[in-house]
Amino acid sequence: MIKETKDSKTGIEGLRLNVNGHRTHYLKAGVGPPVVLVHGGASDSRDWFDTMTALAHRYTLYAPDLIGFGQNERSEEGYYLSDFSDFLLGFINTLQLEKPVLVGHSFGARVCLDIASNNHEKISKLVIIDASGLGNVSMFGSALFTFFWALRKLLRRPQPYPKFLAKEGDDYDQVSSDELAKLTAPTLLIWKRLDPYMPLSIALRAEKLIPGSRLEVLPGYGHAPHQQNSQAFNRLLLDFLNGE
């Protein structure tokens, strides 16, 4: 573990760690039981500044840049879904985190769902936010994705994500109903009422399929309630972590 930075106001540290041979950047803050925060598919660990600051009095928050994202190196060949989940498991194991809570947004939630399905013994609770993996992206969301991809190309700006590869059996969009029904970790879903990418209907269906899960809907339009409704989001997350 190598310390690189520390914000004197928030106490958030920027650190480096070798995970499965990958030099990995992550953020850390707080004291208490471990919570791992996993960013979405067009973002990085900085997404979680507000949440880390708000919860650091009660929990130890870890926010890694996923493999190929943020300050981490990126393979031009791309990554399979299993590469992301293996990386996140490696992060948990390397830091010797004892059954952390996994909190994932969008694509990060898809990675968390993969771990919750196949390595449930590694985690204590699951929080998925406007999650990929519970249904197809809306037609409007697909158009938005294509527009922003083309705009970055036109402006010669790098894409914020690596190339996503799929092998037989991989499905980035849909965890099967059977797999959702077998999830054992206590699960909280948090969703924006008007999500342009992942309609609320996806979350309503998942709540029925995941045993004992609970859905909380935050008002307004958007795809990132942890940023757009940060106070309400942090309160919901803290209550769930505290067992309320």
Query: β-strands 187-194, 22-30: how paired?
Result: unpaired
| Location of structure tokens 């890694």 | 64
Whole-number pLDDT of residue 3: 60
Judged against a pLDDT cut of 70, whether residue 8 lies above it is answered with no
The tally of domains found in the chain comes to: 1
Q: Whole-model pTM?
A: 0.93
For 45, 72, 223, the CA distances from 68, given in Å and listed in that order, are 12, 6, 22
Q: What is the CATH number of the domain that holds 35?
A: 3.40.50.1820
The tokens describing 50, both together, are 């507000």
Alpha-helical (H) ranges within 95-173 are 107-118, 139-154
Range of the domain at 108: 2-241
Whole-number pLDDT of residue 241: 97
Contact (Cβ atoms closer than 8 angstroms) between residue 3 and residue 12: no
Mean pLDDT, range 76-97, rounded to an integer: 96
Element (H, E) at 207: helix 200-209
Q: pLDDT digit string (tens) for 99-129?
A: 999 999 999 999 999 999 999 999 999 999 9
**Residue 209 CB contacts under 8 Å (≥ 6 apart), including other chains:** 177, 180, 181
Contact (Cβ atoms closer than 8 angstroms) between residue 53 and residue 238: no
Judged against a pLDDT cut of 90, whether residue 51 lies above it is answered with yes
Handedness of CA 40, 42, 43, 47 (dihedral sign): negative
Judged against a pLDDT cut of 70, whether residue 77 lies above it is answered with yes
Whole-number pLDDT of residue 199: 95
Whole-number pLDDT of residue 1: 59
pLDDT-wise least confident of 76-90, 139-153, 221-235: 139-153
pLDDT band at 66 (very low <50, low <70, confident <90, very high): very high
The edge-to-edge listing of strands for the beta sheet with 13-19 is 2-6, 13-19, 22-30, 60-64, 34-38, 101-105, 125-129, 187-194, 214-221
